[in-house]
Amino acid sequence: MLAYAVSALIVLLTLWLTSDRRPPTEVPQKPLMIPEEQQAETEWYVKFSVQDQKSTAYLEYGGVRPSSGGNYYIGGVAVHPIYPGADPRQPIIPYGTMIYLEQPITVNGRQMSAFKVFDTGDIYYGRYGATPYWFDVFLGRGNYYADKSAIEYGIRTVDYYWYEAWR
């Protein structure tokens, strides 16, 4: 029994003597106090998710501008106004919001899964009222090939999500 105690003591003494007992190279410092006016306010976001929503394609004809006032571009989408018959310049998903598809779709030969809201359409929810979060993918200026692409796109069912700042 004494032999076990002596051998355990020798092992512990050896471990203690061979361990790295140097002091830390950096002494922990107290965090600096940042004045309140310089502190960044934390922004919170809410994730919205929808399933089984209709998606269609549209084209630009005659120089009409999107309801956001900017220019048309591939990767932009139109959504319903905030409610049927409302001001068409108030979209159900805010302008500039990125929507992220669960499964990518092909737009003009490219696989895309993220789009930016920049227009509104179907202002009375007449065609896709059962899917309030329908969106219309912009495919380009109207011409033979763009028309053909829009027809090929057809009506698709999509699942997607987006984030909005907490209010």
Using one digit for the tens of pLDDT, what is the confidence trace for 49-96? 999 999 999 998 887 889 888 888 999 999 988 888 778 889 999 999
If you average pLDDT over residues 139-159, what whole number do you get? 91
- What's the CATH fold of domain 45-165? Barwin-like endoglucanases (2.40.40)
pLDDT attached to residue 53: 95
**CB distance 114 to 137 below 8 Å:** no
Residue 141 burial (CB count, 10 A): 12
pLDDT attached to residue 34: 73
Q: Which residues contact 86 (CB under 8 A, 6 or more apart)?
A: 123
Q: Which of 96-110, 112-126, 149-163 has the lowest mean pLDDT?
A: 112-126
Token pair for 121:
């359409």
The span from the CA of 148 to the CA of 145, in Å, is: 5
The span from the CA of 67 to the CA of 90, in Å, is: 9
